[in-house]
Amino acid sequence: MTAAPSDNVSDSVASIAPRDKAEILAQALPYIRKFHGKTIVIKYGGNAMTDPALQQDFAEDVVLLKLVGMNPVVVHGGGPQIEDALAKIGKKGTFIQGMRVTDAETMEVVEWVLAGQVQQDIVGLINVAGGKAVGLTGRDGGLIRAKKLVMTDRDDPSKIHDVGQVGEIESIDPSVVTALQDDQFIPVISPLGFGADNENYNINADVVAGKLAEVLRAEKLMMLTNTPGVLDKSGQLLTDLSAREIDELFADGTISGGMLPKIQSALDAAKNGVNTVHIIDGRVPHAMLLEVLTEQAFGTMIRSR
C-alpha cells in the first residue's frame, strides 16, 4: 500500500458528516483513557521519513498523542539520508547481518546526517504541527553509554565481524528524557552513543528504540517500516507472533537482513516489560493514530508468550 496524497486525505476528512466525526471521537475515548499518562516509544523510519505528506501525518499524530495526555518519545533512523550523503563523497554503505559497517569517515557522515539534518527536520515538523520537540543524542545528559559491538557470525560462531564504530548499548540513563516529558516536551532521539574514552558510536535505531522502551517501561513500542509488517514466506502478513514463532522464522530464514535487528529488538522489549510491541506500515497515512486509538491493526504485534 502506498500513501495517499495529502489533499485526497483532506478531502475525505472534509466529507465526513459532523455526526460521524463525533462518533469517531467517541470511539477513541476508551483508548485515550487507557493510555493517558503512558509512554509510547516510536521508531520513525522508512517512507514515513521521506514522503512529505507522510512526514506531516507523522508530526500531527505525535502532537495529537501528546495533547490527549500520552508521552510519545521518538527515536529516528536515517538510512536513506546516510546513503545519499555517502554517495556525495563517493562512498557506498555496506552491511553485515543488518548492521551498517561504520569506519571513521562513515561515522562523521552518520553524525552529521542523524544529529544534524534528520533530527532537526523532525523537530521542525513537530513544532510546526503545534508540538514542542527537543532533539537529543546519546551524549545529552549521558543518555546512551556504549561500547564497540563485537559481532559474531550467525552461521559460524568462531568468526567475528569488525563493523567499525558500531556500538552496543551498555546503559541508558533516561533522566533527561523524563525531565523533558515532565515539562511537556517531545524528545526526538538520534541513535548515537558515547564510550568510556569519549569515542562516538553509531547504534542501530531499532536497538535504541527497544532498549529505551524497556528502560522507560513504555506501554507501547511502535516501529514504522516500509512493509505491512512481518511476512511469511508466501508474502502473507503475520499479525500476531510469539517468541517461539519468531525463533522459527529466524531459523528458516524468513526473517533476514535489515529486519533481524528490528524483530530481535521488538522481541526483547516484549520480554522485558513493554506491554505491546507493534511493527506497523508507515506508508499508511496516520498509521500511528489508527494503531493507538482504534481496534484496527496495521502490522504485526510481538508478544513474549
* Rounded Cα distance, 236 and 16, in Å: 32
Please name the helix (run of DSSP H) or strand (run of DSSP E) that holds residue 44, with its range, or none: strand 39-44
3-state secondary structure of 151: strand
| Grid coordinates belonging to 86 | 555517502
47 is in an annotated binding site: no
Q: How many other CB atoms sit within 10 Å of the CB of residue 247?
A: 12
202 is in an annotated binding site: yes
299 is in an annotated binding site: no
* Rounded Cα distance, 108 and 102, in Å: 9
78 is in an annotated binding site: yes
Q: Calculate ∠ Cα 70-285-74, nearest 5°.
A: 40
3-state secondary structure of 155: coil
What residue type is assigned to position 298 of the chain?
F
Binding site for substrate, by residue number, is: 78-79, 100, 202
Mark the binding-site residues, compressed into ranges.
78-79, 100, 202
